[in-house]
Amino acid sequence: MAGIKTKQGIKRQKVTFSLKNAEAKEVFLTGDFNNWHPEKHPMRKDKKGTWKKQVMLSPGNYEYKFLVDGQWKEDPKNDRLHPNCFGTYNNIINVFEKK
């Protein structure tokens, strides 16, 4: 992951999120890093049916989820979960500072 220094000297990291779902018509990446606004991070599907989105994140812990054809979905490749206020779960990702 390549880093970009912010004004505070903290390097943001490139993080790639992916979800295999060839049947989906649209997939959005949502999380506390984008205030849960799906339109900020639409994902693109590759030829193999995997949706991907790369974002720049500062070091820290983040909760996220996918919005697949209007339905909230957890990341099946990430078993780190946190309960949310809707009685379901969000995934958790940790971004560590590169030295």
SS (H, E, C) the chain: CCEEECCCCCEEEEEEEEEECCCCCCEEEEEHHHCCCHHHCECEECCCCEEEEEEEECCEEEEEEEEECCEEECCCCCCCEEECCCCCEEEEEEECCCC
Read off the pLDDT of residues 4-48 as tens digits, 9 standing for 90 and up: 444 556 688 999 999 999 999 999 999 999 999 988 999 999 999
> Looking at the 3D structure of the chain, how many domains does it have?
1
Read off the pLDDT of residues 51-78 as tens digits, 9 standing for 90 and up: 999 999 999 999 999 999 999 999 999 9
Full-model pTM: 0.86
Determine the structural domain holding residue 45 and report its residue range: 3-95
User: Residue 12 is part of a domain; what is its CATH number?
Assistant: 2.60.40.10
